């Protein structure tokens, strides 16, 4: 296997990026107009990169499978975006954001990339405000902040529960300006099905027009993949059903290494599944944990009564409730990192305390917040001896102003009023921590092929702090890639237009068409979803939050057998030369069936518990299963770092000290 060169600049972390930019090769404006760049994916990373590259003068082609970049899955991000501006004066800084991000990622992030991310974070907010993004503001008109899990400061900028949507509209408006100027040529309703390499360099893509079925060739001097994550390998996830791994997986098969494929973030605040008929799960913003308190009944008798409808959660007194995060992690309480909150919820439900019919739910309760805000508002409005009803009315209005659209969404799905009864939540597959390996320049192991945003592996390690996905996507697109790609493109000034009439394009198109024709002609017994659901069950049961060597070996064998059956018995109705959603899904599930096996293989060789994943054998801490197995320098990170207060005291084995030097953790990759 090739040696991976991260190309991280030498010198102290805090000066790496500045020094690097001062010495990097540039392309002058007159030459930029002769250089073409393809960007696959138009979410926050792809949209911001496309707009910025076009603004600089490059000719950009954008590709997305949606009918508009506005529908990219970035729109689903709700709670906010991190930035180290310290508007609250509560001690935040670039260093603290860097530290929290590396610590929250279980020390598996690339430190140089994360420090750069923290550095440029403040610029993102200025950029987005200039675009008109309607961030929330405080009473004085200044931008407001709220806190998110895993941190002790308020650094998250937000627009109610619609932050991703508003940021995406900002990037989309910047794209539209360049489309009007002719610097961006958009190809909506197109899906990239392969990358084309010429003399070892990425020189274009093969794409399918999803409306007509036409196979198209597109060339460029560089290709940027910004296609998001692969959480849908689990079938049930918080991702849109169209979110897929195809672009990232196709470049992997052409030589771009994957890193950390088995690390997946399990989001703690998802609406629980209600049956086997669902095709996706619905995410509730983590920002709800600012004011919501998470609990389960202390008594199994109460759990049984609630499940049978004999009791309501509001019938239980405070003494009958177990606010288990506040009990276990008093320093962070309900704002522990996502992996800690997810593992704790699963542990309580596995112990029998799940409160819904499937036994897979805990409560997220806003009663205390409503009362607290109500009393505060009563004082502000000089209302003496306010009744309980008035306090509730005043408090509910504040909660509605902060989270109203989220509460409305919950009520529409569950048919319960979360102002009057606690929400039910359960962990679900969300963001993918692994992805395509990239160096400091965001280039993959294929020359001229870049990968940004969630599709790459670099910034989050084994877990992600809330509100950092938007930060990474926009940092890569607005402030990092536009610099680093110039270093490569400065050597392409004399290359001239890349022709699509070449043996390499011929071969790639032929391979794509053969795959499509196979699916159309293969009159099998089962639908694509039949196989996707089976794969998802294997992945969740054996490669999800709980993992062990035996189960992972079984998963690899089962996925291989499922893949073989898929190619024998999958049925794809319709034709290739038309809008055909089943054909689209067939190609994507074929990629998931390959990625799933790599996923399990990677998990098998990682013997530690890390991020959101338990690795057996588990140990007992204070009479409760903590789910950690190996006792080494980075295991038990969630115990020591997040101040577990259980007994016995010697369960806290290590106090990790982050090393700010030129260490880069080895990333296992498979070609």
Q: Quote the strand ranges of 532-633, DSSP E.
A: 546-547, 614-615, 620-621, 624-625
352 against 652, higher pLDDT: 352
User: How sure is the predictor about 3, in pLDDT bands with cuts at 50, 70 and 90?
Assistant: confident
Q: What is the pLDDT of residue 139?
A: 87
User: How sure is the predictor about 668, in pLDDT bands with cuts at 50, 70 and 90?
Assistant: very low
From 96, 146, 208, 338, active-site residue: 338
d(CA 262, CA 283): 21
Tens-digit pLDDT profile for residues 154-209: 999 999 889 999 999 999 999 999 999 999 999 999 999 999 999 999 999 999 99
Tens-digit pLDDT profile for residues 104-120: 898 999 999 999 999 99
d(CA 378, CA 372): 10
Q: What is the pLDDT of residue 617?
A: 55
DSSP for 517-541 reads HHHHH-B-SB-HHHHHHHHHHHHHH
657 against 8, higher pLDDT: 8
Annotated catalytic, 338?
A: yes
Q: Which of 85, 234, 62, 202 is nearest to 508 (CA)?
A: 202
Tens-digit pLDDT profile for residues 623-645: 333 333 332 333 222 222 223 23
User: How sure is the predictor about 457, in pLDDT bands with cuts at 50, 70 and 90?
Assistant: very high
Question: Kind and range of the H or E element at 323?
Answer: none
Tens-digit pLDDT profile for residues 381-427: 999 999 999 999 999 999 999 888 899 999 999 999 999 999 999 99
Q: Which two tokens stand for residue 207?
A: 């794409």
Instruction: Give the range among 254-268, 554-568, 608-622 with minimum mean pLDDT.
Output: 608-622
Q: What is the pTM of this model?
A: 0.88
Q: What is the pLDDT of residue 113?
A: 96
Q: What is the pLDDT of residue 440?
A: 97
d(CA 613, CA 280): 21
Q: Which long-range contacts (CB under 8 A, 24 or more apart) does 521-528 make?
A: 522/567, 522/570, 522/571, 522/572, 523/571, 524/568, 524/569, 524/570, 524/571, 525/569, 525/571, 526/569, 526/570, 526/571, 527/570, 527/571, 527/582, 528/570, 528/572, 528/582, 528/585, 528/586, 528/589
User: How sure is the predictor about 528, in pLDDT bands with cuts at 50, 70 and 90?
Assistant: very high
331 against 373, higher pLDDT: 373
Q: What is the pLDDT of residue 472?
A: 96
Q: Is the per-residue pLDDT at 669 higher than 90?
A: no
What does the pLDDT average to over 587-610?
A: 95
89 against 650, higher pLDDT: 89
Tracing tokens 């274009």 back to the chain, one arrives at: 204
Contact 601, 556 (CB under 8 A): yes
- Give the SS3 label for residue 106: coil
Contact 63, 41 (CB under 8 A): yes
Beta-carbon count within 10 A of 578 CB: 11
d(CA 398, CA 372): 10
What does the pLDDT average to over 455-461?
A: 93
Q: What is the pLDDT of residue 2?
A: 56
Query: What is each CA distance from 572 to 511, 529, 584, in whole angstroms?
Result: 18, 11, 10
What does the pLDDT average to over 495-513?
A: 97
Contact 196, 203 (CB under 8 A): yes
Q: What is the pLDDT of residue 163?
A: 94
Q: Is the per-residue pLDDT at 665 higher than 60?
A: no
Mean pLDDT (the chain) is 89
Q: What is the pLDDT of residue 515?
A: 97
User: How sure is the predictor about 213, in pLDDT bands with cuts at 50, 70 and 90?
Assistant: very high
């Amino acid at each position: 296997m090739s040696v991976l060169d991260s190309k991280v600049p030498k010198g102290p972390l805090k000066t790496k990026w500045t020094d690097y930019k001062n010495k990097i090769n540039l392309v002058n404006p007159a030459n930029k107009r002769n250089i073409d760049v393809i960007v696959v994916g138009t979410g926050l990373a792809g949209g911001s990169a496309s707009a910025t590259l076009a603004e600089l003068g490059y000719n950009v082609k954008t590709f997305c499978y949606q009918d508009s970049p506005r529908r990219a899955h970035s729109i689903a991000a709700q709670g906010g975006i991190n930035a180290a501006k310290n508007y609250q004066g509560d001690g935040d800084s670039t260093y603290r954001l860097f530290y929290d991000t590396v610590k929250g990622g279980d020390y598996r992030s690339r430190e140089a990339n994360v420090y750069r991310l923290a550095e440029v974070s403040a610029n993102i907010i200025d950029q987005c405000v200039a675009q008109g993004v309607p961030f929330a503001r405080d009473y004085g008109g200044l931008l407001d902040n709220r806190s998110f899990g895993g941190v002790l400061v308020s650094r998250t900028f937000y627009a109610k529960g619609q932050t991703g949507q508003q940021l995406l509209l900002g990037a989309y408006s910047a794209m539209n300006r360049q489309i009007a100027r002719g610097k961006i040529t958009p190809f909506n309703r197109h899906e990239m099905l392969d990358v084309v390499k010429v003399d070892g360099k990425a020189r274009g893509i093969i794409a399918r027009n999803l409306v007509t079925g036409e196979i198209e060739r597109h060339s460029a001097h560089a290709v940027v993949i910004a296609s998001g994550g692969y959480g849908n390998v689990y079938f049930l996830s918080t991702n849109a059903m169209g979110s897929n791994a195809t672009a990232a997986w196709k470049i992997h098969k052409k030589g771009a290494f994957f890193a950390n494929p088995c690390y997946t973030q399990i989001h703690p605040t998802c609406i629980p599944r209600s049956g086997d008929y669902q095709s996706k799960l619905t995410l509730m913003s983590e920002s709800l944990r600012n004011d919501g308190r998470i609990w389960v009944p202390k008594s199994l008798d109460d759990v049984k009564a609630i499940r049978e409808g004999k009791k309501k959660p509001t019938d239980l007194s405070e003494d009958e409730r177990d606010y288990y995060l506040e009990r276990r992690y008093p320093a962070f309480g309900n704002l522990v990192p996502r992996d800690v909150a997810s593992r704790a919820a699963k542990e309580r439900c596995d112990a029998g305390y799940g409160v819904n019919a499937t036994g897979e739910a805990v409560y997220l309760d806003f009663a205390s917040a409503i009362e607290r805000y109500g009393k505060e508002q009563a004082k502000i409005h000089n209302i003496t001896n306010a009744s309980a009803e008035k306090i509730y009315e005043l408090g509910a209005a504040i909660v509605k102003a902060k989270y109203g659209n989220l509460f409305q969404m919950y009520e529409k799905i569950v048919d319960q009023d979360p102002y009057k009864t606690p929400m039910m939540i359960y962990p679900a597959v969300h963001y993918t921590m692994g992805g395509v390996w990239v160096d400091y320049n965001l280039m993959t192991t294929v020359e001229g092929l870049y990968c940004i945003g969630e599709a790459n592996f670099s910034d989050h390690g084994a877990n992600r702090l809330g509100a950092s996905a938007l930060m990474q996507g926009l940092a890569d697109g607005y402030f990092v890639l536009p610099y680093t790609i110039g270093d490569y493109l400065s050597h392409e000034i004399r290359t001239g237009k890349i022709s699509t009439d070449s043996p390499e394009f011929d071969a790639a198109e032929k391979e794509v068409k053969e795959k499509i024709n196979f699916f159309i002609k293969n009159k099998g017994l089962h639908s694509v979803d039949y196989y996707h659901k089976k794969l998802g069950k294997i992945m969740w049961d054996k490669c999800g939050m709980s993992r062990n060597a035996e189960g992972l070996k079984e998963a690899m064998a089962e996925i291989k057998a499922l893949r073989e059956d898929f190619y024998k018995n999958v049925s794809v109705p319709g034709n290739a030369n038309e809008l055909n959603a089943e054909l689209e899904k067939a190609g994507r599930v074929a990629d998931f069936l390959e990625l799933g096996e790599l996923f399990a293989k990677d998990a098998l060789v990682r013997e530690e518990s890390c991020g959101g994943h338990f690795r057996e054998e588990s140990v007992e801490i204070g009479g409760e299963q903590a789910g950690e197995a190996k006792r080494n320098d980075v295991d038990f990170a969630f115990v020591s770092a997040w101040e577990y207060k259980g007994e016995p005291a010697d369960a806290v084995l290590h106090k990790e000290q982050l090393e700010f030097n030129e260490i880069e953790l080895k990333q296992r990759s498979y070609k």
